[in-house]
Amino acid sequence: MLRSASGAFINVVRKSLVPASRVSSVIPARWSHDGPVESDEEFDARYEAFFNRKDIDGWEVRKGMNDLCGMDLVPDPKIIKAAMHACRRVNDYALAIRFLEACKDKCGPRVGEIYPYIIQEIKPTLTELGIETPEEIGYDKPELALKNVFDM
Amino acid sequence: MANLLLRRALLDAVRVPIGARASSELAKVGNREWVGYGFNGQPNYVDRPDFPLPAVRFRADTPDIKVLREKEKGDWRKLTLEEKKALYRASFCQTFAEFQAPTGEWKGAVGWALCIASLSVWIYMAMKLFVYSPLPASFDDEHQKAQLKRMLDLKVNPVDGLSSKWDYENNRWK
């Protein structure tokens, strides 16, 4: 652990003292523990390509979405559009709605700023595929109530 | 369907003792379709904001759900709102809004906390009335004044404390 910590420190020092030419295009936006550094654009492109695979199946779509929702980020509208197309390919409408709800939840306290932007960006795709937003379906407010298991 | 058979076959191939979790989880799944990895790889259903897509569908496929699934393969614009909602409820138990809705549990918690706090005050009053002996005579005003006079006569803490605040020439507080 100490060796890797010093490695990261030396990396930071090196980057700040000697701006190496090779790092000009790659902005280290996400540091994993000594792993390879990927820029935001590369990350977005990777996930977009993943969801755009023609042969993707329901299992992979769900795994990709769960992984994405586990990360400390709000999925880019590009990725969400690709995910919507993936849902269409696997013929699962509920999946699309669930993913949109999850993306809204990922916005956290800034949902008022981020979520309208996302919807604005993906609206053409939603209209093209015939997917409603959670608000249009009525799932932005609770519809049904479930009895608490501890009160039974 | 083929996916489910393949996964059950894989599970049988990696036969583990009966006590292992996967077989007991699979026993509870019944006819429901195992559609994803979920949050731990087991075929379970939990509504979680951090793992929004559970491993199994919430409901097993009944004939009317099967009809909807066929319709789902076509144009989604042809589905009515009710059908879309039915498809959602077939795959999921609660929406995000529902499982994140406030429960009002805090009201009960605060209420009970205040009740127990007031009970403790009642208990103290009962102790004072029935258990504690009366205060000794030396606590009344006359005795306290006599004790203070004695402390001043003894010149207790004359530098910075009690007696330093007493004006001995004029017999009053400074």
* Claim to verify: residue B50 and residue B6 sit in the same structural domain: yes
Question: B52–A101: do the CB atoms touch at under 8 Å?
Answer: yes
What mean pLDDT comes out for the span B59-78?
94
Asked if the model's pLDDT at residue A7 lies above 80, the reply is no
Mean pLDDT of chain B: 91
- CA torsion sign for A68, A79, A74, B105 is negative
For the ranges B28-32, B93-97, B124-128, B156-160, the lowest mean pLDDT is seen at B28-32
* Claim to verify: residue B170 and residue B125 sit in the same structural domain: no
For the ranges A89-98, B3-12, B127-136, the lowest mean pLDDT is seen at B3-12
What pLDDT sits at residue B14?
62
What pLDDT sits at residue B3?
75
Asked if the model's pLDDT at residue A4 lies above 60, the reply is no
* Claim to verify: residue B10 and residue B47 sit in the same structural domain: yes
Does any CB of chain B come closer than 8 Å to the CB of residue A65?
A: yes
Does any CB of chain B come closer than 8 Å to the CB of residue A2?
A: no
What pLDDT sits at residue A29?
52
* Claim to verify: residue B40 and residue B113 sit in the same structural domain: no
Question: DSSP 3-state assignment of B149?
Answer: helix
Q: What is the total residue count of chain B?
A: 174
CA angle B139, B145, B146 (to 5 degrees): 95
Supply the ipTM of this predicted assembly: 0.76
Number of domains in chain B: 3
For residue B10, with 0-12 CB atoms within 10 Å meaning exposed, 13-18 middle and 19 or more buried, which class applies?
exposed
What pLDDT sits at residue B21?
53
For residue B174, with 0-12 CB atoms within 10 Å meaning exposed, 13-18 middle and 19 or more buried, which class applies?
exposed
Phi, psi of B172 (to 5 degrees): -155, 175
Q: How far is CA A137 from CA A5, A66, A134, B47, B83, in A?
A: 49, 23, 5, 19, 11
> For chain A, what is the radius of gyration of the CA atoms?
20
* Claim to verify: residue B121 and residue B147 sit in the same structural domain: no
Which one of B100, B119, B151 terminates a domain? B100
Question: A58–B3: do the CB atoms touch at under 8 Å?
Answer: yes
Q: Is residue B96 very low, low, confident or very high in pLDDT (cuts 50, 70, 90)? A: very high
Asked if the model's pLDDT at residue B125 lies above 60, the reply is yes
The range of the structural domain enclosing residue B47 comes to: 2-100
* 3-state SS string for A25-84: CCCCCECCCCCCCECHHHHHHHHHHHHCCCCCCHHHHHHHHHHHHHCCCCCCHHHHHHHH
Which one of B78, B100, B122 terminates a domain? B100
Residue of chain B whose alpha carbon sits nearest to that of A65: B53
* Claim to verify: residue B47 and residue B122 sit in the same structural domain: no
| Model confidence, pTM | 0.74
Chain B hits for A58, Cβ within 8 Å: 3, 35-36
What pLDDT sits at residue B47?
95
What mean pLDDT comes out for the span A13-29?
44
For residue B52, with 0-12 CB atoms within 10 Å meaning exposed, 13-18 middle and 19 or more buried, which class applies?
buried
Share of chain A above pLDDT 70, in %: 79
Does any CB of chain B come closer than 8 Å to the CB of residue A91?
A: yes
Which one of B76, B100, B124 terminates a domain? B100
What pLDDT sits at residue B69?
95
Phi, psi of A147 (to 5 degrees): -70, 135
| DSSP designation for B76 | G
What is the C-alpha to C-alpha distance for residues B6 and B33, in angstroms, rounded to an integer?
12
* Claim to verify: residue B81 and residue B152 sit in the same structural domain: no
The architecture (CATH level 2) of A40-137 comes to Alpha Horseshoe (1.25)
Q: How far is CA A120 from CA A48, A111, A117, A123, A129, in A?
A: 18, 14, 5, 5, 15
* Claim to verify: residue B94 and residue B120 sit in the same structural domain: no
What pLDDT sits at residue A31?
58
What is the C-alpha to C-alpha distance for residues B56 and B29, in angstroms, rounded to an integer?
8
Question: DSSP 3-state assignment of B111?
Answer: helix
Asked if the model's pLDDT at residue A2 lies above 80, the reply is no
